[in-house]
Amino acid sequence: MFLQLVQQRRTIYQFIDQKVESKKLNQCLEAAIWAPNHGLTQPWRFYVIGNQTQQALTQLYAKLRADKRALAGSEEHQAIYLKACDRFMANPQIVIVGQVCSSDSVKSKEDYAACACAIQNFQLAAWEQGLGVQWSTGPIINEAETYQLLGLNSAEIKLIGILYMGYPECIPESQRLPLSKVVKSYP
Ligand SMILES: Cc1cc2nc3c(=O)[nH]c(=O)nc-3n(C[C@H](O)[C@H](O)[C@H](O)COP(=O)(O)O)c2cc1C
C-alpha cells in the first residue's frame, strides 16, 4: 500500500555489508526521472559512484570532518580522519545528485523542487526494494575537489545532495506532527 510505504520509509544511517544490485539501483533512478518538473526541464543529473571514486571522495570527506573537529596534525585529527574513512567506505553505494544550473531564479527554484521530488521517488523506490537511503546535504557536495573528481563544471551543474544507500542495518524511529497541527481547512 502506498501510504504504508511512505510512512515506513526512514532515513538510514547504517548499512549491512552487502552490495546494491545494479538492477535495483536502476529501478530507483528510473523512478527518480519520472518526478514532476515544470516545463519538462528534467534538471536532475545522477552521478553513480564506483569504488575508485568512492575511495577518492573518502579522503576528502574524512579531511573535511577531521578539520572541522580537531587541529590538523593532532592525534585527535588523525583518529577522526581514520574513523571517517571507515564510515564513508561503509556506504555500499553512493549516488550524487546535481541540478542543471539556470540563470533564471524562478526556474532555479522550481528545478530544485523538481530535483527534491526526484530524490523522494528514488528513496521510495529504494525502500520498496528493501534498500535504505540517507539523503545528505553535507559539506562534501560544496567542495571544488568534488566537482573536479566528477569532472563537473560548477557553472553548469550544482551538486545538491549525496545519497548513501544500502541494505539497512537498523531502522530508526521518526515522528511527525499530527495532521491537526499542520492542516487548516476552510469552508
Ligand atoms: C533537503 C534535505 C536535506 C537533508 N540533509 C541531511 C543531512 O545533511 N544529513 C542527514 O543526516 N540527513 C539529512 N536529511 C534527512 C533528514 O534528516 C530526515 O529526512 C529527517 O530526519 C526525517 O527522518 P526520516 O527521513 O526517517 O523520516 C535531509 C533531508 C532533506 C529533505
Q: Is 14 in the pocket of ligand 1 (CB under 6 A)?
A: no
- Looking up cell 515522528 gives 175
pLDDT of residue 107: 98
Q: Is 137 in the pocket of ligand 1 (CB under 6 A)?
A: yes
CA of 158 from ligand 1 middle (Å) equals: 19
pLDDT of residue 177: 98
In b/e form, how buried is each residue of 135-171, taking b as 16+ CB within 10 angstroms? bbeeebbebeebbebbebeeeebbbbbbbbbbbbeee
Structural domains in the chain plus CATH codes: 2-49+92-173 (3.40.109.10)
Residue range 150-172: average pLDDT?
98
pLDDT of residue 37: 98
pLDDT of residue 185: 98
* CA-to-CA dists, residue 90 to 32, 128, 151, angstroms: 24, 22, 24
Q: Is 142 in the pocket of ligand 1 (CB under 6 A)?
A: no
Give CA–CA dist 148/134, Å, rounded: 23
* Predicted confidence (pLDDT) per residue in 75-119, tens digit: 999 999 999 999 999 999 999 999 999 999 999 999 999 999 999
* Predicted confidence (pLDDT) per residue in 118-145, tens digit: 999 999 999 999 999 999 999 999 999 9
Q: Is 135 in the pocket of ligand 1 (CB under 6 A)?
A: yes
pLDDT of residue 110: 98
CA of 156 from ligand 1 middle (Å) equals: 26
Radius of gyration for the alpha carbons in the chain, expressed in angstroms and rounded: 18
Q: Is 11 exposed, middle or buried (0-12, 13-18, 19+ CB in 10 A)?
A: middle
